[in-house]
Amino acid sequence: MIKLAVFGKPVVQSLSPRIHNLFAKQFGLDIDYQAIEATAETFPDQVTELSANGGRGCNITAPLKRNAWQLADRSSDSAERAQAANTLVFHSSGERHAYNTDGQGLVNDLNSRTDFQLSGARICLVGAGGAAAGVLGTMLQSGPDCIVIINRTAERAAGLEKAYSDLGPIRSCRPEEIGSEPAFDLIVNATSLGHRGLAPELSCSWLKPGGLCYDMNYGQAAEPLRRLCEKAGIPYSDGLGMLVGQAAVSFQLWTERSPDSGVVLKQLRHSFC
């Protein structure tokens, strides 16, 4: 029995238990993956308990990703730069290793499902919070022509620019300045506006012909931007594939097995229809 969990607040709606159980079935593995409500105060003791009871690791969702990074003894470069982790791996030595698999999930989904190639692309990243920080490193390592970050708070966008500038061409600008930029191949929405029934302001003029708007949200949180894009004639993709993709990387870290993400994504899409 492989003991795993996802911690967050709220966490009852998490698809992670279902996704990882579907992964486990591909290999005939027996797992116990629990969704556990946690706060910043209870989280450290809950992680310790899971590890002490033979747990192999855990996923972490909002608002505890920074707490997870702080708990770790070692961190991957992506987790260290973002100062946030969505995956902890427990080792027999007692050490906890932190990873942020969001960026790899996003890139894998773009490459495998949309056939979009980040190499040489002009990308607009909307948002400068933890979600944006979690994917920036992997996106830059994929060799884009440029990533331009826009955010309502210019200082946060500038902070990300400074933190990731050594990995590739990146700069920040104010939302009102984006209209003067050359058109982009890809727009990535890393804001949480969809959870409040809102969408960032976008224009089809921002995109080159054949360009794509990729929303890191999925489910109900993706509907506001989906409707905006449909009305404006902007090609759109939600982030359900990213969710499955980042989970696949976590699963491989825990089990050393690489699951078929495409099959699981199709099963989830079918259940949502």
Model pLDDT for residues 154-202, shown as the tens digit of each residue? 999 999 999 999 999 999 998 888 888 999 999 999 999 999 999 998 8
Arithmetic mean of pLDDT over the chain: 95
Q: Is the pLDDT of residue 272 over 80?
A: no
Active-site annotation holder among 3, 9, 65, 208 = 65
Q: Summarize pLDDT for 33-59 with one digit per residue, the tens.
A: 999 999 999 999 999 999 999 999 999
Per-residue pLDDT for 115 more than 90?
Answer: no
Hey, what domains does the chain have and what are their CATH numbers? 2-100+242-272 (3.40.50.10860), 103-238 (3.40.50.720)
Are the C-beta atoms of 137 and 164 separated by less than 8 Å? yes
Residues 6+ apart with CB under 8 A from 1: 30, 31, 32
Residue 236 C-beta-side C-alpha neighbours within 13 Å: 22
Decide if 162 is catalytic: no
d(CA 193, CA 221): 8
Q: What percent of the chain has pLDDT over 90?
A: 89
How large is the average pLDDT for residues 49-71?
96
In which band, very low, low, confident or very high, does the pLDDT at 112 lie, cut at 50, 70 and 90? confident
Q: How much is the pTM?
A: 0.95
